[in-house]
């Protein structure tokens, strides 16, 4: 049995390595695909030009445009998937997801309010974070009693999902309210923001920094997340500071959701299907899942976005429509399997 220790680590390295290679491949694929194809043999030269900061050839400028959009998609997808994974461990419920639970809509309300008041970009970010944390805290307070008594999985699961639906509905109506009173000039930017599109999203450093920081936090707490997923409240008797971990996970997943929503609007179901698929493929150990989910989530959204801008080209679809069309059936399937 001693022999099984190194393989565990090797297996994790192998999985993460493979996912990393796959992620880079999807980024390149996204860079090549579009109305004008960039042939594979021109990629190295174009990359060299980009690295030197002078994209002269057509391939290089195409790659720059598409790659920066793909990188935004990657950071967004990774953040959403990690946020979903954290909420699932925290609530011990494989159906938890920032979109389903209304955390994304909370962020939308915050961001739209900031847009309505014509504040700076930084204020939009901060308002989205405040909205996400507000909803997350509300859910936490409501779920707390169920978590305590260990009923979160039986009656509590549907209770929590219902709460999420209601909170989403409330946020949706607040958004409608804000749109209806918004002045004409602001309306266009608000609507575009709301649709959840990567088309106009600028490549910014902040979402990557947030993702890196949160990934670090998650990796440091990977073992403790396993403990909470397995033992819930009783993980205290195994030396885990459950209260502090839960607060940390709630805050960090809200931060990730807010970061994703501010860069690309409200994109659904990534936090649900990606962790679900990874758990199915690699098992429930968070030490493997955390890096795998971030890479898989990033790659997934890059592919969805490539699909969104090519499927009915030259028209572009919002990427949220694609993820929802894949995610909603998966969610329904999961829900029914859980009921059995």
Residues making contact with other proteins (CB under 8 A)? 1-2, 4-5, 8-9, 92-94, 150, 153-154, 222-223, 226-227, 229-234, 236-241, 279, 283-285, 287
Q: Is the CB of 53 or the CB of 239 nearer to other proteins?
A: 239
Query: Is the Cβ–Cβ distance between 198 and 69 less than 8 Å?
Result: yes
Of 34 and 150, the one with the shorter C-beta distance to other proteins is: 150
Least Cα distance to 251 among 263, 259, 240, 241 occurs for: 259
- Assign 183 to helix, strand or coil: coil
Q: Which structure tokens are listed for 241?
A: 């500071």
Cβ proximity to other proteins: between 222 and 326 the closer is 222
Least gap, CB of 225 to other proteins (angstroms)? 11
The CA distance from 31 to 37, in Å, is 9
Closest distance to other proteins from the beta carbon of 10 (Å): 11
Residue 109, judged by CB atoms within 10 A of its CB (0-12, 13-18, 19+), counts as buried
Q: Closer to other proteins by CB, 189 or 234: give it.
A: 234
CB of 222 to other proteins, least distance (A): 7
Contacts of 53 (CB under 8 A, 6+ apart): none
Of 231 and 247, the one with the shorter C-beta distance to other proteins is: 231
The structure tokens 């707390």 sit at 144
Closer CB to other proteins, residue 41 or residue 337? 337
Nearest in space to 73 (alpha carbons), one of 124, 21, 31: 31
Closest to other proteins by CB, 91 or 296: 91
Q: Shortest approach of other proteins to residue 5 CB, angstroms? A: 5
Q: How far apart are the C-alpha atoms of 296 and 82, rounded to whole Å?
A: 10
Residues 6+ apart with CB under 8 A from 73: 30, 198, 264, 298, 301, 302, 304, 305, 319
Alpha helices (H) along the chain = 5-32, 43-51, 58-91, 103-116, 121-149, 155-181, 184-195, 206-220, 222-231, 242-264, 270-282, 286-310, 319-339
CB of 13 to other proteins, least distance (A): 11
Q: Least Å distance between CB 331 and other proteins?
A: 17
């Amino acid at each position: 049995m001693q022999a099984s220790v190194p393989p565990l680590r090797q297996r994790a390295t192998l999985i993460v390595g493979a996912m990393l290679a796959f992620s880079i491949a999807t980024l390149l694929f996204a860079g090549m695909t579009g109305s004008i194809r960039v042939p594979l043999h021109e990629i190295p030269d174009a990359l060299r030009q980009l690295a030197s900061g002078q994209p002269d050839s057509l391939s290089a400028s195409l790659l720059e445009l598409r790659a920066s959009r793909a990188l935004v998609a990657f950071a967004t997808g990774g953040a959403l998937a990690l946020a979903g994974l954290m909420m699932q461990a925290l609530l011990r419920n494989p159906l938890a997801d920032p979109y389903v639970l209304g955390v994304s809509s909370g962020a939308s309300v915050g961001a739209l309010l900031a847009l309505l008041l014509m504040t700076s970009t930084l204020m939009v970010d901060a308002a989205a974070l405040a909205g996400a944390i507000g909803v997350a805290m509300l859910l936490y307070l409501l779920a707390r009693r169920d978590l305590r008594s260990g009923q979160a999985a039986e009656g509590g699961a549907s209770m929590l999902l219902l709460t999420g639906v209601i909170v989403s509905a409330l946020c949706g109506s607040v958004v409608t309210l804000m749109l209806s009173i918004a002045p004409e000039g602001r309306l266009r930017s608000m609507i575009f923001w709301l649709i959840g599109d990567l088309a106009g999203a600028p490549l910014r450093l902040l979402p990557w920094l947030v993702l890196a920081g949160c990934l670090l936090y998650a990796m440091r707490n990977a073992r403790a997340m396993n403990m909470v997923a397995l033992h819930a409240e009783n993980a205290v008797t195994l030396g885990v500071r459950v209260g502090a971990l839960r607060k940390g996970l709630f805050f960090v997943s809200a931060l990730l959701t807010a970061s994703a929503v501010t860069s690309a609007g409200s994109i659904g179901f990534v936090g649900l299907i990606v962790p679900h698929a990874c758990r199915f493929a690699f098992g429930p150990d968070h030490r493997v899942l955390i890096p795998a989910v971030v890479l898989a989530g990033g790659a997934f959204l890059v592919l969805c976005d490539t699909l969104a801008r090519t499927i009915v080209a030259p028209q572009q679809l919002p990427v949220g429509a694609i993820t929802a069309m894949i995610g909603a059936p998966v969610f329904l399937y999961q829900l029914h399997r859980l009921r059995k």
